[in-house]
Chains A and B, each alone.
Chain A
Amino acid sequence: MSTEPREPQPIGAQIEQAFDYRGYVTLSRRDGSQLVGFVYDRGPAYVELFDEAASQRIRVAVDDIASIELTGEDSAAKAQKIWERRKGALEPPETSAWGDWEDREDRPVLLLVALPGELRSVADVIGARRHGAVARGRVGSVSAVGLAVGMGGGAAHVIAAEHPRLVISCGLSGALDPSLATGDWVLASSVCDDDGESIAVSEPILRAARRELVTGGGPARLAEGEILCATQVAATAAEKRALARPGRLAIDLESGPAARAAHRAGIPWLGLRVILDPLDLELPAFTRQPHPSYIVPALRHALGGPRATAELARLGLRARTAHRSLAQALCRLAPMFGPRFTPASGPTLGPTSGPTSGGIAPVEHAS
């Protein structure tokens, strides 16, 4: 094998090779200076390049060029290698619909709820009209997407599609702590499922949410602790008591899938519930079954007699209070939606500034 250095190619051939190359080149001028860029065009007397940041176009006279070397990675060869390596194997369906373009500024905040009634509260906050189970709006300069996933609905698909900057699983909930009343806010420090698998909210996110929720005054009660994500509704006081544990504040059917999907996608998430039914309140039997809308089952229940009608009316009032409280809580969280929000850099609040874990905070209520 010969070790003699090869004759350099004529400049014309070097230019053609650089033009055909899908990577950066280093162009050396006759005056000794160098330029790194992407050659996208050439003529008999010139070469045109994008600079390395692809922000500037530069034209260099052929007469000024001493040599061109292919110094950057060849994107076409790289694509081919990747393709050959995975030949036949497909990317999983959860792959982000945004590809690798994660640094875009307009990633939305995703607000996941279970039911259309909850979506109404979300839509009000983000100034959106609802199209079926979806509401798209904005909070300031940030786009926000509200989605009703249904009771127990999953979130992996929508998180993959939307590639949000933040996921907030929110909605109405049953209380598992006797001190909680209708309209109280529960900030999830973690979400636990029936099998005992628990996912914790990242501390910076939790700290920021706590800060926003307790700021602004007004009569709102905030508690912070574990949320149980169950697979069926706990309608009676006995059922709720059976699920209660120290530090476990509320029960829902949706937080778990949302938390898991966001956690897997590496996206910050937050769980926020508003209490609808306190621990000792018995819910009507029709609430046990998931329905896309509860209007018909509720009307049917009301036909059961004056007591059932009164029970339903009281529940309706509680739901109204809870929905209003949910909208207020989301308004409070709005500063977290912005692109400049960086939870890790948020100021640290001392333990007395917010609620203690598993307990009711110093009372501050939004009106």
Chain B
Amino acid sequence: MGIPVSQMLAVARYVVKQRVMKRDRYPLVLMLEPLFRCNLSCTGCGKIQYPTSLLKQHVSAKDCLAASDECGAPVVSIAGGEPLLHPQITEIVAGLIERDRYIYLCTNALLLKQKLDAFTPDKHLSFSVHMDGPRAQHNFSVCRDGVYDIAVEAIREAVRRGFRVTTNTTLFEGADPERMRGFFDDMMALGVEGMMISPGYSYQKAPDQEHFLRRERSQRLFSKMLASPNKAWRFNQSPLFLQFLMGKRDFECTPWGNPTYNLFGWQRPCYLLQDGYAKTFRELMEDTEWSNYGRASKNPRCQDCMVHCGFEPSAVDATFRSARAMGATVASMVTGQL
């Protein structure tokens, strides 16, 4: 099973509409962080280092849905923290489905199996399970033994029950391209709909500062990993973005493409950097000094970044900007080559 046609059409319709309305800046995916608390302390995560009283707080279901209404993006990625720890997660999901949003519920899957009863399979809902590589690599990355096996079991159960399941993989320095190829085979054999991959961002607050990939290293790794891709692999990402990761294309960052809403408000400028917060989505879009971000800005924090939240929207936008890019996307989807 691949991405439902209805989702592809919803996104395509939305992007075309933005272009017809001549909107230069529009959101594609709302990154909703309804809480910061997590049940893992991953080595490369800079999202959860807050005092306990803040970790105990969460954005209410009402505010989450209001944020989605305000933003209007057709896709919502529920991240965190671990969203399954949110006491109103089922209400949030149900409300988003009602709004015809396509949801990627990002989870480390520690609680997925036991929470499945709370959800109903729906074309709008996909569990995006955090899997950073083969067993040893993943367990090391999340700093806990046994997590890979729990996640695999949860994926199997979710697939068995008819849920859409994808994986999301963050890669760090030291990842072995050959092993990663084997890992992709393993994930597809579990029956997931598709995979998402991205290099990790060098969060200033993450515990491990040594293993973030620099730009050239990222390109080398992704080139080796994705060269002659196995026909069984499916990526829930734009082929142009994958080609960007391989160094075959260059894009400028689209920081407004995946706007982030959390306990503090609308995060400026993007999912990764925290330069402040806007009260409203409109304020975020209109009052943020966007020229301060992206590679061209020379902002040092943006120079090595190749993360999907900035460049996937660029790739999607490029697809709809020229017949050539659209042709390349279609060709890649048909042939499976990148």
Contacts and interface: CB of A to CB of B under 8 A. Distances in A.
Interface string B95-124: 000000000000000110110010000000
Interface in B20-66: 37-41, 43, 46, 48-51, 53-54, 56-57
B185 interface: no
A45 interface: no
A96 interface: yes
A29 interface: no
Contact of A83 (B57, B143, B264, B276): B143
A366 B190 CA distance: 48
Nearest to A86: B143
A123 to B, nearest CB: 12
Contacts of B174: none
B53 A52 contact: yes
A92 B144 CA distance: 6
Interface in A34-89: 38, 40-43, 48, 50, 52-55, 72-73, 75-76, 78-80, 82-84, 86
Given A40-B277, A93-B144, A99-B40, A76 B49 contact: yes
Contacts of B54: 38, 50, 54
A161 interface: yes
B87 interface: yes
B114 A136 contact: yes
Nearest to B154: A161
A340 to B, nearest CB: 18
Interface string B190-208: 0000000000000001011
Contact of B53 (A53, A104, A131): A53
B205 A54 contact: no
A84 B143 CA distance: 12
A99 B110 CA distance: 10
Contact of B51 (A23, A106, A136, A145): A23
Given A53-B53, A131-B117, A90 B144 contact: yes
B57 to A, nearest CB: 5
**Most chain B beta carbons < 10 A, residue from A48, A90, A92, A131:** A90
A241 interface: no
B205 A22 contact: yes
Interface in A83-120: 83-84, 86, 90-93, 95-99, 101, 104, 106
Given A22-B50, A93-B144, A97-B110, A82 B277 contact: no
Contacts of A19: 276
Contacts of B276: 19, 41-43
Interface size class of B (residues with CB under 8 A): 35 or more
B85 A98 contact: yes
B111 A38 contact: no
Given A41-B276, A93-B146, A136-B117, A83 B43 contact: yes
Contacts of B40: 99
B207 A161 contact: no
Contacts of A82: 41, 207
A162 B114 contact: yes
B38 A99 contact: yes
Nearest to B161: A131
A79 B143 contact: no
Would you call the interface of chain B mostly helix, strand, loop, or mixed? loop
Contact of A101 (B85, B113, B140): B85
Contact of A40 (B113, B140, B264): B264
A24 interface: yes
B72 interface: no
A72 B114 contact: no
B114 to A, nearest CB: 6
Nearest to A91: B144
Contacts of A72: 51
Given A24-B51, A76-B205, A83-B207, A101 B150 contact: no
Contacts of B113: 161
Interface string A1-37: 0000000000000000001001110000000000000
Contact of B139 (A23, A40, A53, A90): A90
B145 interface: yes
B277 A90 contact: no
A343 B50 CA distance: 34
Contact of A41 (B139, B147, B264): B264
Most buried by B among A41, A83, A92, A104: A41
B140 A90 contact: yes
Nearest to B115: A136
A292 to B, nearest CB: 18
A78 B207 CA distance: 9
A274 to B, nearest CB: 27
B37 A99 contact: yes
Contacts of B53: 50, 52-54
Given A50-B54, A83-B207, A161 B111 contact: yes
A90 B110 CA distance: 16
Contact of A106 (B41, B87, B144, B147): B87
Contacts of B82: 99
B265 interface: yes
B160 to A, nearest CB: 10
Nearest to A42: B276
A53 B48 CA distance: 17
Contact of B56 (A54, A73, A91, A93): A54
Interface in B150-199: 150
B41 A83 contact: yes
Given A22-B205, A54-B57, A96-B39, A75 B50 contact: yes
A101 B144 contact: no
Contact of A73 (B41, B51, B264): B51
Given A54-B56, A55-B57, 4 more contacts: A41-B276, A75-B49, A83-B207, A162-B114
11 contacts: A38-B50, A41-B276, A41-B277, A50-B57, A54-B53, A55-B57, A79-B205, A83-B208, A93-B144, A101-B56, A136-B114
- In the A-B complex, the 5 residue pairs with the smallest Cβ-Cβ separation, listed nearest first, are A93-B146, A83-B207, A99-B39, A54-B53, A76-B49
